[in-house]
Structure 1
Amino acid sequence: MTLDSPAAADASREFAAEGWTRHLSVPLAVLRTLGSVAVTLLGLFTLTFVLGRLLPIDPVIAIIGDNAGPGAYAKVAEQLGLDEPLYVQFWIYVTDMIQGDFGRAIDTGNYVTADLARVFPATLELATFALVIGTGLGIPLGVWAAVHRDTWIDQTVRVVSLIGYSAPNFWLGLMGLVLFYATLGWVGGPGRLDIMAQLSHDAGPQPTRMVLIDAALAGQWDVWRNAFSHIVLPASILGYAALAYIARMTRSFMIEQLGQEYVVAARIKGVPERRIVWHHAFRNIRVQLITVVVLSYAFLLEGAVLTEIVFGWPGFGAYLTKGLLKADMNVVLACVFIVGLIFITLNLVADLAYRVLDPRTR
């Protein structure tokens, strides 16, 4: 076949088309991702708006009280835009939320955005600490149980995981406070800091509003130790639930991999068992574990309500609970939106991690 033959020309055109396809695949993937995020956010906006209109709570009454007259009611309703048609209310609602305006909280009188910026770092610090505990212990325990399948080690790990699934967090928290704080005095009590440590911390810089990080950056090691003594118990309670889920899923994934033919072939060749487990089998479950860990983190961020109440932790969950008790729809809807945004963001992080760890998904 010569270079100027029709077959060569066709091959050249096909090669050029394949090159353009490869070049366009990345921008198209980005556009698909952005479109998916936009549609999901629109659905989230719609869901929170519908919830705000369906719940049997009148936001005007929640602000002015039951004893206000019709004139005051109509004035506040007009200020909130509730006298407009439903589609106009939705447009106002969406544009305000896009700009970060969730209204004011009834309890504090502050903008909800300012309150969330104050309370969310506390939950982020607690959930991150809990995830480190749950991942750092759950993955090795799951691998260990799979390697020693149907032995007393496996049974022990399964019982520990079952307890972590079954026992309510608030009960574990109360028992932990009674034992480790009130009886043994090993940990700090409710709250993030003792009073004197709080005064010292308030006097220093707080760039992240996470006490452990800010205290370390400022060199306030006495404050850091006090904060650690307060966070270790609630983080362990939350981390125990994450540990149970992560250990169970890791065990299941590893059992499947250890039964594959490549593992049998590696053992026949005399490859050390430790290398088979961690270099071959565990390497093949990393992508699956990403989903497990990401979902665990999302649930820790939005599911710490009872733990924060038991430990007097001034975080996102406690703030949402106060909003529900006071029928503050601005707070409730903002928190619902934040929870949805957390799941969307972490799913995008998991998708990116897939592409990094598994070339087949690129």
Structure 2
Amino acid sequence: MAFEPNISGSSAGAVKLPAASGRAGRFLVGLAGFLVSVALTFLGLLAITFFIGRVVPIDPVLAIVGDRAPKAVYEAARLKLGLDQPLYIQFAHYVAAILQGDFGTSVSTGKPVIEDLKRVFPATLEMATIGIVIGMVLGIPMGVYAASHRGTIRDQIIRVIGLFGYAVPAFWLGLVGLALFYARLKWVGGPGRVDIFYDGLVTPVTGLMLVDALIAGETEIFWNALSHLILPAGVLGFFSLAYIARMTRSFMLDQLAQEYVTTARVKGVPERQVIWRHAFRPILVPLITVCGLSYAGLLEGSVMVETIFSWPGIGNYLTVALLNADMSAVLGATLVIGAVFIGINKISDALYRILDPRAR
């Protein structure tokens, strides 16, 4: 009799240990698969950027030594860059250098590309983050409202706003915004991140002007930087809003047509609760993917907006590098943008699995 509880306790422990180890094993297998997927995707990105650099009709040697350099100087630079070696060896050297954080030296700035990217990427990150917040905060409620009032004039207005966001060119909207809100009404700051007399007064810590100004206790510079950020971030936010509102409306229309929504209405559930609790929750998972892709698109698609607003971000940096045939800078910026896409996609996939048990 005294021995039986020990047996049952022992067998219970024997049952629990394999279950726990099984869960740990599945987690490790999933983590290993995730890391392998990221590594292979990143390797493919490296291959694409490398061969783009070799296919484009730009001679990186001439970009360094100039078109009037003697042949001996040209050949010496070519040998130093390793361009005399087979492509697979060049690619192996390229991958090894990238893994060590060596993106080459920019012809335009004379500095290592990695230092340039650390300087310009936070500016784009700051602008795109504010833009996606605007797009989500306004776009999701607009899409839900349009779907719940399908066929009404309010639905038509929201759809026209979305269509306008797809059709209008970014450069036109940016120029109109500058002419109206900056030049005429004086409501916002102009091109650049801050007024010229504030430039260089805040020591970069994070690279994000708003954050660095608060860290330094410079509230006046913070508000000045915010006034400069509102218009370019608003332009990006408008394009993001149009996409998010349209996709939200489409997802909601599909859910509102489901039988469980009809059943909830028949039972007398308040309409607000039907919309936000019953119909909106199932679309939260695909909305994460939509917002993630929109955010990544803002980070890489801000070239035109940064050019219009003289914003010192990665888009402007990439444009200048292309005009100067600075291939090291072009490939470095392209690689960073691609890595951002990979990272955001993987984060979206992870959130998808967390929020939707069926995906596990």
- TM bucket (normalised to shorter chain) is over 0.9
Q: Equivalent residues in 2 for 1:1-362 (5 A)? A: 21-198=22-199, 202-362=200-360
Q: In the superposition, relative to structure 1, how do residues 140 and 183 fare at CA in structure 2: closer, same or farther (>3 Å)?
A: same
Identity, % of aligned pairs? 54
Give the letter for the 1:193 counterpart: V
1:306-342 residue CA offsets vs partner (Å, 9 max, x unmatched): 0000001010000000010011110111111111101
CA distance in structure 2 between the partners assigned to 1:87 and 1:196 by the alignment: 50
Give the letter for the 1:212 counterpart: L
CA distance in structure 1 between the partners assigned to 2:216 and 2:179 by the alignment: 33
CA distance in structure 2 between the partners assigned to 1:126 and 1:17 by the alignment: 50
Q: Which structure 1 residue ranges, 5 or more long, are not aligned?
A: 1-12
Give the superposition deviation at 1:18: 6.7
Identify which range, 160-169 or 330-339, moves more after superposition. Answer: 330-339
Give the superposition deviation at 1:218: 2.2
Give the superposition deviation at 1:358: 1.4
State the SS of the aligned residue for 1:32.
helix
CA distance in structure 2 between the partners assigned to 1:253 and 1:85 by the alignment: 51
Give the superposition deviation at 1:355: 2.1
Identify which range, 317-326 or 81-90, moves more after superposition. Answer: 81-90
Give the superposition deviation at 1:40: 0.8
Give the superposition deviation at 1:217: 2.3
Give the letter for the 1:243 counterpart: L
1:3-48 residue CA offsets vs partner (Å, 9 max, x unmatched): xxxxxxxxxx999877654332111111111111111111111111
Give the letter for the 1:273 counterpart: E
1:117-148 residue CA offsets vs partner (Å, 9 max, x unmatched): 00000000000010011111000000000000
Aligned residues: 349
Q: Please give the TM-score of this superposition, normalised by the length of structure 2.
A: 0.94
Give the root-mean-square deviation of aligned CA atoms. Answer: 1.8
1:228-249 residue CA offsets vs partner (Å, 9 max, x unmatched): 1111011111110000000000
Give the superposition deviation at 1:82: 1.1
Question: Runs in 1 of length 4+ with deviation above 4 angstroms?
Answer: 13-21
State the SS of the aligned residue for 2:312.
coil
Give the superposition deviation at 1:91: 1.0
Q: Which structure 2 residue ranges, 5 or more long, are not aligned?
A: 1-13
State the SS of the aligned residue for 1:193.
coil
Give the superposition deviation at 1:86: 1.8
Identify which range, 311-320 or 352-361, moves more after superposition. Answer: 352-361
State the SS of the aligned residue for 1:126.
helix
CA distance in structure 2 between the partners assigned to 1:219 and 1:134 by the alignment: 29
CA distance in structure 1 between the partners assigned to 2:305 and 2:156 by the alignment: 28
State the SS of the aligned residue for 2:103.
coil
Give the superposition deviation at 1:93: 0.7
Give the superposition deviation at 1:58: 0.5
Give the letter for the 1:197 counterpart: Y
State the SS of the aligned residue for 1:296.
helix
CA distance in structure 1 between the partners assigned to 2:264 and 2:119 by the alignment: 54
Give the letter for the 2:266 counterpart: I
Q: In the superposition, relative to structure 1, how do residues 285 and 70 fare at CA in structure 2: closer, same or farther (>3 Å)?
A: same
